[in-house]
Structure 1
Amino acid sequence: MADRPHFCPEDAMHDDLGPLTVHRRKGDEPLTAVGQPVGTLGGFWSWACSDLASNTMRGVLAEYIVATAIGAAEGTRTEWDSVDIRTPDGTRVEVKSSAYLQSWAQGKLSEITFNIAPALGWDGQTGASSTEALRNSDVYVFCVLHHLDKRTLDPLDLDQWTFHVLATRVLDERCERQKTISLASLLRLGPLQTDFAGLAKSVAVCTAG
């Protein structure tokens, strides 16, 4: 095989380094090598994303569940946006998830805690970060995968989830610089507790006041 020419980044054109346009994919797109298919995007998804109980994938799934409930699941997820979900009417939603059961072997059930730390916002369109740590959303949705039996755990079964919805201003007033919160402490703040069917209404109520 002939040696391939060495690619030098400095030789590339830098006329447009703005945000990448990401199109929603279907899963049947091929992985190719020398123009020949060697796998599919769906195969990669199955390989990388099947463990829905892992902290990372459970969090992403929780975002999708909430986005589906509130009519904001069109398009694609923006990984490093300053908030997790933006609804068509401009509501900014932060999603946090926690679970009693984990993928690994456990000596006991995990405690339910959530990260609520203010953070520096980042603008994916400009690449610029804010200089002040804030909670950038209008509302938080705390998602608890409450199921307690590993043999029947299924994060895709939305009846195994409970959702607690709280206006961000309540966190700012009551937990100003606090970084984490337990479920017991969260419940003392009076969030709206709901199942999937009531999630959209609960978000609307918390953002209307």
Structure 2
Amino acid sequence: MVELNEFTQIKGTSKQIVDYWKWAYSNINTNSERGIFAEFLVGSALGTLGTGRVEWDIADVEYRRKLIEVKSSAFVQEWEQKKLSVPQFNIAKKYEFGEYTTSRDRHAQIYIFALLFEKVRNIMDPLNIEQWEFYILSTKNINEHFGVQKSVSLKPLKNVCHPVNYDDIKSVVDEIIDN
């Protein structure tokens, strides 16, 4: 595998890899990129960005030998909206990717729900950490409160946990792991 930095040349062109990154990944407001950015934020808060993201891994982040699933949502979407979206988070049980299994499960021990909560389109800035809040639950609590539900909206989530800011992610996750 080629080790990349922003100055890596795309051979046979006048472009560098940073040109591709800008072209492909510069809009963090899309659902898929916002989700990956939320994984990055959680990984950076936990100090686990070392080896890079693995697409289709069993979980998004590993911290202290625990698997963490990161889900994101927002009120404002990339497309034009007549009204704000109702934030939803996927909590569906899944097959383990690449393995033959006959049952679905929630493989991570912890879920972190990242909400980009700004409701005004021209103010919303995913690069402003003050516009994010994080809801953190053990999978045990998700199973107890939401059972086999495939998704959870913000209101029921707020009934079982409180939002934390970026700086508190690590301490809340540590508390869940230690208890």
Bucket of the pairwise TM-score, normalised by the shorter protein: over 0.9
- What is the match of residue 157 of structure 2? 186
Given that 1:24 and 1:75 are in contact with CA atoms closer than 8 Å, whether structure 2 keeps it comes out as no
Given that 1:192 and 1:202 are in contact with CA atoms closer than 8 Å, whether structure 2 keeps it comes out as no
Return the offset for 1:142.
0.4
Return the offset for 1:171.
1.1
What is the alpha-carbon root mean square deviation over aligned residues?
A: 1.5
In the alignment, the residues of structure 2 paired with residue 24 and residue 66 of structure 1 have an alpha-carbon distance, to the nearest angstrom, of: 24
1:140 and 2:111 matched: yes
Return the offset for 1:24.
5.6
Residue 53 of structure 1: which of 21, 24, 29 is its match? Answer: 29
Higher strand share: 1
In the alignment, the residues of structure 2 paired with residue 24 and residue 40 of structure 1 have an alpha-carbon distance, to the nearest angstrom, of: 13
Q: 1:50 to 1:118 in 2, by over 3 A?
A: same
Q: Please list every run of 5 or more consecutive structure 1 residues that lacks an aligned counterpart in the other structure.
A: 1-21
Return the offset for 1:45.
0.6
Residue 78 of structure 1: which of 54, 63, 66 is its match? Answer: 54
In the alignment, the residues of structure 2 paired with residue 80 and residue 129 of structure 1 have an alpha-carbon distance, to the nearest angstrom, of: 15
- What is the match of residue 104 of structure 1? 79
- What is the match of residue 30 of structure 1? 9
Aligned residues: 179
SS of residue in 2 equivalent to 1:31: coil
SS of residue in 1 equivalent to 2:102: strand
In the alignment, the residues of structure 2 paired with residue 96 and residue 50 of structure 1 have an alpha-carbon distance, to the nearest angstrom, of: 20
In the alignment, the residues of structure 2 paired with residue 24 and residue 76 of structure 1 have an alpha-carbon distance, to the nearest angstrom, of: 12
Return the offset for 1:38.
3.0
In the alignment, the residues of structure 1 paired with residue 2 and residue 169 of structure 2 have an alpha-carbon distance, to the nearest angstrom, of: 27
In our comparison, the structure showing a higher alpha carbon Rg is: 1
- What is the match of residue 5 of structure 1? none
In the alignment, the residues of structure 1 paired with residue 113 and residue 58 of structure 2 have an alpha-carbon distance, to the nearest angstrom, of: 17
SS of residue in 1 equivalent to 2:103: strand
What's the TM-score, normalizing by structure 1? 0.81
Q: Please list every run of 5 or more consecutive structure 2 residues that lacks an aligned counterpart in the other structure.
A: none
Q: For 1:90-144, what per-residue CA distance to the aligned partner results, in whole angstroms no more than 9, with x for missing partners?
A: 121000000011111110111011110010112xxxx434332100111110000
Q: For 1:2-33, what per-residue CA distance to the aligned partner results, in whole angstroms no more than 9, with x for missing partners?
A: xxxxxxxxxxxxxxxxxxxx56621221112x
Letter in 1 for 2:167: A
- What is the match of residue 195 of structure 1? 165
SS of residue in 1 equivalent to 2:95: strand
In the alignment, the residues of structure 2 paired with residue 29 and residue 37 of structure 1 have an alpha-carbon distance, to the nearest angstrom, of: 11
